[in-house]
Amino acid sequence: MNILLTSEFKDENADILKAMGLECTAESAMNVMMIRKALAGDVRAYEAVARYSGQETEKEARTNKYIAQADEYRARIEKLKAEVEQLRNAGGMNAEDKIEALFRKIDEGLNNEPSYGEGFIMRYSDDE
C-alpha cells in the first residue's frame, strides 16, 4: 500500500501539485482532494483532514486534559498516603486516625482547588 501511495504519477493535477511544492504522488493528490472537499463543506472530509493533521477534537482535548489531571491527582493521593504513613509511624496513629488524616489532606486539596475531583471522575467514567 505504501508503495502505491508514494509512487509518482502523471495526471492533469500534477502541475498544481508541483506548483504547491508537493511531490506528484497518489498520497499528495488524495490529500489535496480531501482538503478541497473539506473547503467545499464536506464535514467528514474536514474531520479526516483534522485527524490526519494531528488536530484534536474538543472532546479529545478535554478527555486528555482530564486523564492528565486524574493521573496527577492519583500521584498526589499516593504522596498524601505516604505522608500519613510517616505520621502514623512517627506518632503511632491507629487506623481511624490514619484514615481521618488522609481525608483531611484530600479535603484540603478540594478546598484549595475546586476542580480537584473532575479529572479523577472523568478518568474512571471513560474506563467503563
Q: Which pLDDT does position 107 carry in this prediction?
A: 72
Is-above-0.75 flag for pTM? Answer: no
Q: Which pLDDT does position 65 carry in this prediction?
A: 82
Where exactly are the structural domains of the chain?
Answer: 2-52, 58-127
- Residues 11-38 have a mean pLDDT of 77
**118: confidence class by pLDDT, cuts 50, 70, 90:** low
Q: Which pLDDT does position 25 carry in this prediction?
A: 78
Question: CB of 98 within 8 A of CB of 84?
Answer: yes
Within 20-117, residue ranges assigned H as helices are 26-39, 43-52, 58-91, 95-112
**Smallest Cα–Cα separation from 26: which of 11, 6, 53?**
6
| Residue 59 backbone class (left: φ over 0; alpha: ψ -120 to 50; beta: rest) | alpha
Residue 123 has pLDDT above 60, yes or no: no
